[in-house]
Every structure is written in structure tokens, then in C-alpha cells.
Amino acid sequence: MTTPLLETRGVWQRFGGLIANSDVSISVGAGEIVGLIGPNGAGKSTLFNLIAGVLPPTQGTIWFNGENVTQMPAAERCQRGIARTFQVVKSFETMTVIDNVIVGALIRNEKMRDARRKAHEVLEFCGLAPRADKLARDLIPSEKRRLEVARALATEPKLLMLDECLTGLTPLEAQSGVALVRKVRETGVTVLMVEHVMEIVMPLVDRAIVLNLGKKLVEGKPADVVRHPEVISAYLGD
Ligand code: ADP
Ligand code: MG
């Protein structure tokens, strides 16, 4: 087996007495779309934070592209090719759409002219080109989600982590979000996505990993995972 692009080994995260991640080991291969699912409070966003470097794990190690990144600051992980969106949209509301994306593009481009060119290319890719000069705060919710994805893509990641980027969208908007994720993967970017709308995420992912109460419950092909009795009871108990 080839080395996975991303691996967490026995990762724990404690917040005082609360255990948000408990001995979580996952791996994501290059080119995969992996779904991270589980009920509210399962520890999905926490795991994203640990992988992105927002906080160091209480215990365990995180490996990216063969390198131990456990103690590496978030900005350096971004340089290595890890990008993520936030469950709560974090764009710069009073900046224009294009400027938001330029912020991401400046990570790979020293010259403003190059960053701007890259940002326009990414907006085009994300279907936001007509909104380039709007203020981020004037976008509708589905466009704000796309802007988050665009900002992340502008950093030219190897791994794109999406935290509920399809949640709260209309079915039509969610379908076009799904199409965008597929298009991202076609460019060679690996995708790890948190999503709890099963009907949307299951047809999209190659593999699903289920977290419940901070622990990995099951992982496997979507069709097998949804039939798993423990997954069914975790969701019904939600
Ligand atoms: P999910 O994304 O699966 O809904 P989270 O990772 O956001 O779950 O949260 C897992 C648990 O950790 C929850 O009980 C949440 O309240 C708690 N938690 C998350 N972040 C913090 C934090 N910074 N401080 C304290 N508790 C936290
Ligand atoms: Mg979450």
C-alpha cells in the first residue's frame, strides 16, 4: 500500500473533562474523496482543527505527505498543502470577493499581479466570477460557501477539507456544490469532507468514516457504512 496523504494516529483531544476526540486513527489516500460523518458533537470539527493545526492534539500524531506535522503551525501546514473551510463562514465580510480570494492566493504568489490572476482563475472555477467585485457580506449563503471553497483552493492545496459546506443549502444548491467537489477532485486535489446530510454525501464519497462521541465507529464504502447497525443507532439516538 502506498503512503496515505493524510494520517492521524491515535489522536486525542480533551477540553477539560470533555473528550472531543478519543484515539482517532484515520487515513486518506491521495485522490480520494472521504466523508467524515457523525451526529452533532461527535468531534468532526475538532478533528479538522487538529489536522489543520488550529490546536495541537492532547495526544497522538498527525502525518501529512509522509511528514509528522503534529506540532507544525497552521500557516506552515497550509504551505505544505492543507486547506480547509470553516463550519461557520469566516470570510472577510467588508472585503470584496476577489480580495478575499487574493488573500489565499498570496500564499503561493509573491507578486500581487500573479495572486490576482490566480484568484480570478479560482473564482471562475467556482462559478463566482460574476460576483468578483461584490462585498463578501452581500453574497447569498450558497455563494458565501463557494467563496470559502475558493479561498481554500487559492492556496493550491493537496488536501481540501470541507466542514459542512453543503449544510443549509437548498437541494439544487447542494447538487451544484456536489458538482463543484467532483470538479475539484478531477484537478487532483484530495477531499476530506464533513457533512451530515447522508443523501448528499454518500453518493459523492469513495469512503466514509463515522465518528460518534469522539470515537471512530466504522469506516468503509458508503453502501456498507449506512447499513451498519451501530451507525443506524448512533443516528437514531441523535
Ligand atoms: P462536531 O463537529 O462533530 O459537531 P465538535 O468537534 O464541534 O463536534 O465538538 C465535539 C465536542 O467538543 C462538543 O461537545 C463540543 O462542545 C466540544 N468542543 C469543541 N471545541 C471546543 C472548545 N474549543 N472548547 C471546549 N469544548 C469544545
Ligand atoms: Mg462540526
Successive 10-residue mean pLDDT values, the chain, 238 residues: 90 97 98 94 96 96 98 96 86 92 95 98 98 97 95 97 92 95 98 88 94 94 88 71
For ligand 1, which residues put their CB under 6 angstroms from it?
Answer: 15, 18, 20, 38, 40-46
pLDDT at residue 126 in the model: 98
Q: What is the dihedral of CA 81, 146, 8, 207, to 10 degrees?
A: -120
**CA 104 to ligand 2 center in whole angstroms:** 23
Question: What are the C-alpha distances in Å from 194 to residues 121, 130, 200, 218?
Answer: 26, 28, 11, 15
To test the ligand 1 pocket, which listed residue (8, 12, 13, 15) has its Cβ within 8 A of the most ligand atoms? 15
Closest CA to 176 of 139, 149, 210: 149
Which residue's CA is the closest to the ligand 1 atom numbered 24? Answer: 15
Which residue's CA is the closest to the ligand 1 atom numbered 13? Answer: 41
Query: What is the ipTM metric for this complex?
Result: 0.98
Q: Report the 3 state secondary structure along 94-156.
A: CCEHHHHHHHHHCCCCCCHHHHHHHHHHHHHHCCCHHHCCCEHHHCCHHHHHHHHHHHHHCCC
**Residue whose cell numbers read 437541494:** 171
**CA 42 to ligand 1 center in whole angstroms:** 8
CB contact set of 36 (below 8 Å; sequence gap of 6+): 26, 44, 47, 48, 192, 193, 194, 208, 209, 211
Asked whether the beta carbons of 123 and 101 are under 8 A apart, the reply is: yes
Grid cell at residue 209 = 468514516
Q: Ligand 1, closest atom to CA 21?
A: 10
Which residue's CA is the closest to the ligand 1 atom numbered 15? Answer: 41
**CA 211 to ligand 2 center in whole angstroms:** 11
Query: At CA 22, angle to CA 28 and CA 224, rounded to 5?
Result: 50
Closest CA to 181 of 170, 168, 130, 194: 194
pLDDT at residue 231 in the model: 81
Q: State pTM to two decimals.
A: 0.95
Q: Ligand 1, closest atom to CA 55?
A: 23
**CA 207 to ligand 1 center in whole angstroms:** 24
Closest CA to 151 of 97, 225, 213, 226: 97
**CA 18 to ligand 1 center in whole angstroms:** 9
**CA 126 to ligand 1 center in whole angstroms:** 30
Q: Quote the CA–CA distance of 224 and 13 in Å, as a whole number.
A: 28
pLDDT at residue 230 in the model: 82
